[in-house]
Chains A and B, each alone.
Chain A
């Protein structure tokens, strides 16, 4: 079955710096890769997603890149702000394997003011 690995587990950056979180997946049939942000005590919420027919997608300060050959995808946050501090999860899913979504273990991002 699908396995998603996420690194690093903890990331601390200075306000204004960039943050990069990386994920790898195992199932080459996966074709949808969302990223979720979870603030303390809250539910995960989608921040950006990418499908396998696209290599990069950007939404203001957030971008995601996908390398299907290497089975890697990454989240890039530029000009980080204290409110970006949260846990970020990558995930992978596909049309095969029952459409299930498998998550990485999460990255706790600290943005220091």
Chain B
């Protein structure tokens, strides 16, 4: 168990809908990262938060947004969903912005858009 909790584990929704994925980082970890894993594109970095502030954005669509709350949990909001958004979404956390520390990953949320 990595200590990173993601809910829900599975989500099936229709095109055009909006969903929220939730991540609780390891206790005390300030950095949260979101990644998308699809079959044809590997692990793509979406966004990073550190202690409530956005730090970096990757290839995140404008239909997607995220935030990190004062209790350090994070939510990834996906709207106007398309079939191509079906993927595994991972959250990871690190203690702080340290390049020599490993990140710990949750078990992911599998999103299926039908």
To the question of whether A and B form a pair in one complex, the answer is: no
Residue numbers of A with Cβ under 8 A of B are none
